[in-house]
Amino acid sequence: MSPPQTAARARPFRDGLLRLDPPRLLGSHCPACGTTAFPSRTFCPRCRAGDGLVETELGVEGRVHSFTVVRQAPPGVEVPYVLAQVDLPADDVRLMARVVGVAPEEVVLDMPVTLELAPFGTAEDGTVLLGHRFTAAAEVAR
C-alpha cells in the first residue's frame, strides 16, 4: 500500500482523462445517439452533435481485441512491453493501452483485462502523474 501522503501527491497525467479514486477512465456521452467517446470530446464523433455531451465514467472491464509485444522502441523506452487494443463492451469503446500482469507470450486475443492506474511520470513539483493501463483479469493471472 502507498503511504497516504503519496496518494495525496498524485494526479492524472492529463486533465479530464481519468478519475483516481476509484480508478475510472472518463469519456463523453452523447444523449442524442447514445455514443460514448474516449478520450472525451466536445462533439459527438458519430452524430456530430456539438452540445449536450456529458462526462461519463467508463466501465473497468475490458477485452483484448488485438495486441503486440513491442521488442524495439526509441531510446529511453524499456522493452519488451505488451500494447493492446482493448475493448470496453459496456461502453462500446476501444482504446489503446499497455497490458500487464501476464507474461507477454501468454497474452491471447479476447483475453479479459481490468483497468488499473500506473505512474506515467513525475511533475516538476514531485507530484506523481498517473495514467491508465490494463492488467490480466484474476482468472488469467497466476
Which residues in this chain contact other proteins in the complex, by CB under 8 A? 13-14, 17, 35, 37-39, 41, 45-46, 65-75, 77, 81, 83-85, 87, 89, 92-94, 96-98, 104, 109, 120, 131-133
* Residue 125 C-beta: closest distance to other proteins, Å: 20
Q: Dig out the grid coordinates for 128 from the structure.
A: 506523481
* Residue 30 C-beta: closest distance to Zn ion, Å: 3
Separation CA 68–CA 105 (nearest Å): 10
- Tell me, what amino acid is at 120? F
* Residue 17 C-beta: closest distance to other proteins, Å: 8
95 phi and psi angles, rounded to 5 deg: -145, 165
User: Which residues lie near Zn ion (CB under 5 A)?
Assistant: 30, 32-33, 35, 44, 46-47, 49
Q: What Cα–Cα distance (Å) separates residue 95 from each residue in 25, 84, 124?
A: 11, 8, 28
